Structure 1
Amino acid sequence: MKKDELDTLFEQNRTRFDVHDTPQGHQKRFLTKLQAQAEGHKEALKEKRRSTKWWKPLSIAATVAVLLAIGFLFQSTEAKAQDLASVSPEMQRTQSFFTATINKELKTLKSLESPEAKTLVEDALAQIDILEREYEGLKKDLVESGNDKRVIYAMITNFQNRIDLLQNVINTIEEIKTLKANKNETTI
């Protein structure tokens, strides 16, 4: 149906539609009910907001916790990867050489352990632990300094100090054993 046809239909049937007059005060009652319903919706929205207020701080705290965890994991992974071997292939070979030499000297030292040399071995191992902790600090410094040559030199020096310490203790233990053997030969 077109608009003109609808208009004519309503005009022709107007008397059928307007049978009753609206009661007195109908508009006022209708507006009062409408306003009460709107206020009820406002209260419901406020209640909903109050019940979900704790979600916002909780979600912020969870986000911060996740970011801190990711940052910590990234930092610890990065710190582990930044040792002397991470600088260059030559430094990787240097680190491998020093590590192999230190392990060999430690094995030799432990094989020479005896009641007479026990104190020397324990002291040497304590000094090695100190040097290893210093090396861990140097690894962090290497990350912070961006592969500064002074830090690299300090790391190499640390390796050399560990090797020198182990060799000196091994030589001292062997000298003690030699002196003891010579003493035993002369007393017989």
Structure 2
Amino acid sequence: MSKKDNFNNLFEELQGQFDLEAPNNGHEARFLEKLEANSSTKKESDSKSFWKPFLAIAASLLIGLSVFIGINQQPEATGLASVSPELSEAQDFFTATITEELKKLDTERSPLTENIIYEAERQLKTLESDYTVLKNDLKESGNDKRVIYAMISNFQSRIEILENILDQIDDLKNTQNDTEITL
């Protein structure tokens, strides 16, 4: 059987079942108005969507450029690290040692040791502000060896203060323990 015969058979079977009523008056005009309104909305959205790909590309380029600039910016070395790799290692060593000693100091904090620790922190703040001045002097002096030596001495002074304070705290605790034992 051919396709033409299938269609003919279909129409013969559906004979009399088709909707033969005419649409209401003005149906075609209403349909065309809706169609026109829908197509004008689509034209407006087409003009808006025309810029979307360009905006997306521009945003992608802007993000990519900012990431590229952010990655390529190297942090400026300050202090001894700006002079040489050896002095950078020395600065890292001093900084790590000071950090370690400060942690020890914090573990020893108690009402008994509060005044000693407060005095140590005050001295350390003074040395840190001196170090900030020395960093500026180093930039201005063009890596003058006297300034470098002063910076190293500053680190050493901070470490000595921390070690002395920890020794004083140990002595104070031992004295306190001896007093408690004798009572």
Quick one: percent identity of the two aligned structures?
A: 49
Q: Number of residues paired by the alignment?
A: 108
1:182 aligns with 2:140: no
- Identify the residue that residue 54 of structure 2 maps to in structure 1: none
Q: What corresponds to 2:137 in structure 1?
A: 141
Distance 1:180 1:82 in 2: 44
> 2:167 maps to what in 1?
171
Q: CA deviation at 1:146?
A: 0.2
Q: Supply the distance in 1 between the matched residues of 2:165 and 2:79 (Cα, whole angstroms).
A: 27
Shift of 1:82: 3.4
Moved over 2 A (4+): none
- Do residues 130 (structure 1) and 92 (structure 2) align? no
What SS does the aligned partner of 1:142 have?
helix
Give the unaligned 5+ runs of structure 2.
Answer: 1-75
Task: Give SS of 2:90's match.
Answer: helix
Written as runs of structure 1 = structure 2, the 5 A alignment for 1:11-160 is 81-160=77-156
Deviation at 1:186, TM superposition (A): 1.4
Residue number in structure 1 paired with 2:34: none
Cα deviation for residue 116 of structure 1 reads: 1.0
For the 8 Å contact 1:102–1:162, the answer to whether it is kept is yes
Q: Deviations over 1:123-145 (max 9, x none)?
A: 11111111000000000000010
Q: TM-score, normalised by structure 2?
A: 0.58
**Can you list the C-alpha shifts for 1:115-174, whole angstroms capped at 9, x where unaligned?**
011011111111111100000000000001000000000000000000000000010011
Consecutive unaligned residues in structure 1, runs of 5 or more: 1-79
Superposition RMSD in Å: 0.9
TM-score normalised by structure 1 residue count: 0.56
Corresponding letter in the other structure for 2:92: S
1:76-122 Cα shifts (integer Å, max 9, x gaps)? xxxx6331011111101100000000000001011101101101111
Contact 1:82–1:142, Cα closer than 8 Å, also in 2: no
